[in-house]
Amino acid sequence: KKIPWLEVLGEITIPGSHSSAVIFFSLSVFYSVIPAASYTDSSDDETSPRDKQQKNSKGSSDFCVKNIKQAEFGRREIEIAEQEMPALMALRKRAQGEKPLAGAKIVGCTHITAQTAVLMETLGALGAQCRWAACNIYSTLNEVAAALAESGFPVFAWKGESEDDFWWCIDRCVNVEGWQPNMILDDGGDLTHWIYKKYPNMFKKIKGIVEESVTGVHRLYQLSKAGKLCVPAMNVNDSVTKQKFDNLYCCRESILDGLKRTTDMMFGGKQVVVCGYGEVGKGCCAALKAMGSIVYVTEIDPICALQACMDGFRLVKLNEVIRQVDIVITCTGNKNVVTREHLDRMKNSCIVCNMGHSNTEIDVASLRTPELTWERVRSQVDHVIWPDGKRIVLLAEGRLLNLSCSTVPTFVLSITATTQALALIELYNAPEGRYKQDVYLLPKKMDEYVASLHLPTFDAHLTELTDEQAKYLGLNKNGPFKPNYYRCLGLPRNQGHLGSDELPALELVFASPTTYAYMNSEK
């Protein structure tokens, strides 16, 4: 295929003895870039994956992805992610012989990225069978989904699903003849909600739920309070290894990436309001402040509000600054944080986006009215135009910005994914009766173990307590070093009785012999 600019380049004459080598090198670089760049172009084939008949190389058609032919490229992305996920790789190596998840049938609903693929393949290496759907219609990496399907994982997901596609994919994971899940790994609670709604009898065989998001955990606590939670659930979101790493550090880096890729904006001097100063909000504020933005914060929690003030941010009500800010970012996990009234009062070209899990924080539905014009500028970027010509820039239709519009740091996701894997091992191997139909927090010993698996990456060396020091502090030399009630600030729970303080069975007791061996802890 002839490409005009390559032909012109070939005709250039460069003085000197190395001219031909320079031209050859330039041609080889251009030719190598073109195929790799084209794989994300969805305009090549607009046929819905649901209407395609695809098979992997083994003849299986138990999947639904955008294009199975992208599997090779997705495999390279997964291999790259493995380099930045040392704890999962260590877990895979140490536990592969014992297969602590042998017999586990895990149905998952998470973001389908290269990092999730490493987690799924780790669960497979530990003996589990997995079926997977996406928890967000925009966050799936098509080539990664193809690679998983090629490897034999039943994956039902593609980037740009409709709402109907979203629930269809979840149903295809759950409703399959001859296979019934006995574990749930959820991100946002949609999978759990769907099973409760459509297949409640399945919970008779499900041993437990592992949930990692604020939104999903909130749903579980609601079910528990109402007496409708019929299996044990692990609250991964409130574990220290999730809150202080994934929520904080991941968002601190990815908020800038998502905004840059979609808007090409300059941050210096921009006025930004961040709604919510939990760990996600803290990460966003720190990154924007470092780039020279003027950052305001809204909060309902006086503790988080005081933290924002001590960190040098102006605490305001959204109504007070809505007319002047250049960017509005929601990080609350709540609903209708930014209402139509706020949207009407925003200045021209204000950027509006969400860093929470669900698309409920911005009232996007109120913008779909005849008097407003929607203009798609680029992928995940819409201009919503008012009759007087004012427009706002809406990113990802109010859905999760970083995973919809950019990528997230692999290393920090390794921490969360390892915590999820250990939670699944714990619940699956727990003897009957250990966990009631309630929501549990992971013990700090497990948090500390996950953290310790990542320290070798930094060539970090822990100091060990002497016997005298351990006795003085009243601690075991090997931990846990944090009390079980230790959590991050800013996570109020109305259901206080569900916290780990009153669940001593979880404190230092682990279910599987495998877990004992990993952690070198005393029973």
**CATH classification of the domain holding 310:** 3.40.50.720
**Which pLDDT tens digit goes with each residue over 467-496?**
999 999 999 888 888 776 665 433 434 333
**Which pLDDT tens digit goes with each residue over 282-304?**
999 999 999 999 999 999 999 99
Q: What is the pLDDT of residue 486?
A: 67
How is residue 322 written in tokens? 């809505």
Q: 271 and 388 share a domain?
A: yes
Annotated binding-site residue? 197: no
**Whole-angstrom Cα distance, residue 173 to residue 167?**
10
Instruction: Name the more confident of 134 and 28.
Output: 134
Annotated binding-site residue? 502: no
Q: What is the dihedral of CA 230, 233, 237, 240, to 10 degrees?
A: 150
Q: What is the pLDDT of residue 503?
A: 32
- Of the chain, the percentage scoring pLDDT greater than 90 comes to 66
Q: 152 and 190 share a domain?
A: yes
Taking residue 53's Cβ as centre, other Cβ atoms within 10 Å add up to 5
**Structural domain contains residue 25:** no
C-alpha dihedral sign at 102, 418, 488, 246:
negative
**Structural domain contains residue 513:** no
Q: What is the pLDDT of residue 285?
A: 97
Last residue of a domain, one of 405, 423, 440: 405
How is residue 282 written in tokens? 């803290």
**Structural domain contains residue 453:** yes
Q: What is the pLDDT of residue 367?
A: 96
Q: 68 and 214 share a domain?
A: yes
Q: What is the pLDDT of residue 497?
A: 32
Q: Which of 293, 347, 353 is nearest to 325 (CA)?
A: 347
What is each CA distance from 255 to 236, 261, 284, 430, in whole angstroms? 22, 10, 6, 38
**Structural domain contains residue 2:** no
Q: What is the pLDDT of residue 402?
A: 86
**Structural domain contains residue 516:** no
Determine which of 180-184, 189-193, 472-476 has the lowest per-residue pLDDT on average. 472-476
Q: What is the pLDDT of residue 487?
A: 59
Annotated binding-site residue? 279: yes
Annotated binding-site residue? 281: yes
Q: How many domains does the chain have?
A: 2
**Can you give the pTM of this predicted structure?**
0.76
CATH code at 193?
3.40.50.1480
pLDDT surpasses 80 at 127 = yes
3 state SS of 104: coil
Taking residue 140's Cβ as centre, other Cβ atoms within 10 Å add up to 28
Annotated binding-site residue? 113: yes
Q: 288 and 416 share a domain?
A: no
Instruction: Name the more confident of 38 and 360.
Output: 360
Mean pLDDT of 208-232: 92
Q: What is the pLDDT of residue 85?
A: 94
Annotated binding-site residue? 499: no
Q: What is the pLDDT of residue 499?
A: 35
pLDDT surpasses 80 at 163 = yes
Q: 78 and 206 share a domain?
A: yes
Q: 221 and 260 share a domain?
A: no
Q: 389 and 467 share a domain?
A: no
Q: 401 and 444 share a domain?
A: no
**Structural domain contains residue 486:** no
The mean pLDDT value of the chain amounts to 84
Q: 190 and 289 share a domain?
A: no
Annotated binding-site residue? 55: no
**Which pLDDT tens digit goes with each residue over 418-444?**
999 999 999 999 988 889 999 998 888
pLDDT surpasses 70 at 31 = no
Q: What is the pLDDT of residue 425?
A: 93
| Contact present, 197 and 222 (Cβ < 8 Å) | no
| Phi-psi sector, 68: left (phi>0), alpha (psi -120 to 50), beta | alpha
**Structural domain contains residue 319:** yes
**Which pLDDT tens digit goes with each residue over 264-280?**
999 999 999 999 999 99
**Structural domain contains residue 47:** no
pLDDT surpasses 50 at 33 = no
3 state SS of 64: strand
Last residue of a domain, one of 405, 420, 438: 405
Q: What is the pLDDT of residue 391?
A: 97
* Residue 250 confidence class, pLDDT cut points 50, 70, 90: confident
* Residue 358 confidence class, pLDDT cut points 50, 70, 90: confident
Q: What is the pLDDT of residue 1?
A: 39
Place of tokens 């924080």: 361
Q: What is the pLDDT of residue 64?
A: 97
**Which pLDDT tens digit goes with each residue over 56-80?**
999 999 999 999 999 999 999 999 9
Mean pLDDT of 500-520: 34
Annotated binding-site residue? 242: yes
Q: 350 and 431 share a domain?
A: no
pLDDT surpasses 50 at 26 = no
Q: What is the pLDDT of residue 485?
A: 67
Annotated binding-site residue? 7: no
Annotated binding-site residue? 280: yes
- Of the chain, the percentage scoring pLDDT greater than 70 comes to 84
Annotated binding-site residue? 283: yes
Q: What is the pLDDT of residue 468?
A: 95
Q: 66 and 198 share a domain?
A: yes
C-alpha dihedral sign at 254, 68, 169, 380:
positive
Mean pLDDT of 121-143: 95
Q: Which of 414, 424, 423 is nearest to 441 (CA)?
A: 423
**Which pLDDT tens digit goes with each residue over 211-220?**
988 889 999 9
Domain containing residue 108: 53-238+409-476
Q: 226 and 265 share a domain?
A: no
What type of residue is 512?
S
